[in-house]
């Protein structure tokens, strides 16, 4: 029997409660997130091309300090930033040169950069009960996707999850793009507050006048026209305003458009890929940007945004990547200010929980994801 399907609408048919207020400032909640969400998922750590051969970088992944190593031959490895002798920090800087060995600055134990095995124990002469092979650096899983490096603290990490929509950047030459601009913001908000703001557009008319001009459907408080067709402006299928093709200050492409995009990808004007918990990517017809989040405390989050271009675009005479990035930077800073405003209110002892509106279906999905991750048994 064929059933008539009603028009698909993602809007919720009820108004569920939000997470409790303490989810955004409690040290205990934050610590549990670090042991579950941040210790078990692939966490974006920047572009492979920005990690020069012969260098290492120190990262924070959840509660762990991690060193990401790129050997002179280009090989990639990652380890916990802790010595197996008596636990000293191995790398005390955000970035450092890397040779064949990683030496502990305390008593000079040294480890092979390629696989972390213990090579020497400095001036110490261990007895026969000590087995070098049992005292290599503690490895961290590392992979590369679309030119991004991702690390995973889990001892048994699964693949990058297919339900993240990872295929949707297949038509962009991601691995060849070059970082042209970067901004870093230290936001006074819980990391989830930023993601919640990302997941709804009810705030767009009030917070983002320039963006609403660029993307007319946002001016109605919607994320996409299919949410509420009767409320969406008729743009003839275009998502960006008439005459605009990219998120640049004048809406014009900043260089040649990528040749492999489908007509729909071109018409969209932007294509989002979300990789919880740490990154989203927005791919335009002429350039791509990514935003990474690193929780630095229950009420603080470091945001790093980068813009990627074809090398030929960056080399154009007079090309100014900061100018091209200024449109999205404005939007990111508006969102950052909104997230900090939200955080200040969430601290109120009078606030218990809020309610989600039907248009906030993507926040409901995010909350379900967070709670599901935290409910899973913690790894030993
Ligand atoms: S703690 Fe690293 S060599 Fe002693
Ligand atoms: Fe926003």
Q: What is the pTM of this model?
A: 0.94
Low-confidence ranges of the chain (pLDDT < 50): 1-6, 379-380
* Nearest atom (ligand 1) to Cα of 87: 1
Residue nearest to atom 4 of ligand 1 (CA): 107
Say if ligand 1 is within 6 A of residue 52 CB.
no
Please indicate whether residue 85, judged by its CB atom, sits closer than 6 Å to ligand 1. yes
**Contact (Cβ atoms closer than 8 angstroms) between residue 349 and residue 14:** no
Calculate the average pLDDT of the chain: 93
Beta strands in the chain (DSSP E): 43-47, 55-61, 64-70, 76-80, 95-97, 101-103, 109-112, 118-121, 141-145, 148-152, 178-187, 271-275, 279-283, 288-297, 300-309
- Any idea which architecture 28-163 has in CATH? 3-layer Sandwich (2.102)
Question: What residues does each domain of the chain span?
Answer: 9-25+173-380, 28-163
pLDDT in tens, 58-82: 999 999 999 999 999 999 999 999 9
Question: Does the beta carbon of 106 lie inside 6 Å of ligand 1?
Answer: yes
Q: Which of 67, 85, 132 to mutate to test the pocket of ligand 1 (most atoms within 8 A of CB)?
A: 85
Fold of the CATH domain 9-25+173-380: Naphthalene 1,2-dioxygenase Alpha Subunit; Chain A, domain 1 (3.90.380)
**Whole-number pLDDT of residue 269:** 85
């Amino acid at each position: 029997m064929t059933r008539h399907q009603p028009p698909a609408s993602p809007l919720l048919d009820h108004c569920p409660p939000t997470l409790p207020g303490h989810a955004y400032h409690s040290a205990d909640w934050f610590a549990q997130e670090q042991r579950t969400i941040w210790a078990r998922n692939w966490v974006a750590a920047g572009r492979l091309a920005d990690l020069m051969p012969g260098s290492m970088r120190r990262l924070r992944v959840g509660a762990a300090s991690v060193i990401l190593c790129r050997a002179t031959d280009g090989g990639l490895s990652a380890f916990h930033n802790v010595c197996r002798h008596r636990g000293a920090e191995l790398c005390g800087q955000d970035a450092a040169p890397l040779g064949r060995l990683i030496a502990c600055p305390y008593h000079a134990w040294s480890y092979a950069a390629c696989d972390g095995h213990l090579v020497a124990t400095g001036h110490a002469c261990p007895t026969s009960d000590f087995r070098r092979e049992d005292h290599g650096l503690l490895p961290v899983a590392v992979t590369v996707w679309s030119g991004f490096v991702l690390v995973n603290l889990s001892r048994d990490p699964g693949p990058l999850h297919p339900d993240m929509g990872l295929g949707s950047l297949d038509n962009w030459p991601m691995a060849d793009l070059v970082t042209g601009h970067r901004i870093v913001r230290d936001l006074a908000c819980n990391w989830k507050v930023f993601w919640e703001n990302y997941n709804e557009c009810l705030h767009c008319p009030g917070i983002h006048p320039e963006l609403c001009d660029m993307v007319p459907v946002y001016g109605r408080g919607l994320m996409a026209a299919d949410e509420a067709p009767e409320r969406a402006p008729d743009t003839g299928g275009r998502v960006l305003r008439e005459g605009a093709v990219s998120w640049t200050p004048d809406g014009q492409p900043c260089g040649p458009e990528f040749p492999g995009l489908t007509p729909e990808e071109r018409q969209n004007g932007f294509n989002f890929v979300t990789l919880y918990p740490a990154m989203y990517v927005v791919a335009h017809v002429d350039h791509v940007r990514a935003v990474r989040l690193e929780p630095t405390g229950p009420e603080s989050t470091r945001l790093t945004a980068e813009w990627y271009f074809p090398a030929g675009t960056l080399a154009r005479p007079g090309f100014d990547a900061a100018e091209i990035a200024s449109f999205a930077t404005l939007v990111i800073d508006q969102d950052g200010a909104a997230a900090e405003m939200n955080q200040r209110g969430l601290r109120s002892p009078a606030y218990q929980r809020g309610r989600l509106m039907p248009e906030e279906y993507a926040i409901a999905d995010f909350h379900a994801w967070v709670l599901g991750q935290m409910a899973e048994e913690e790894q030993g």
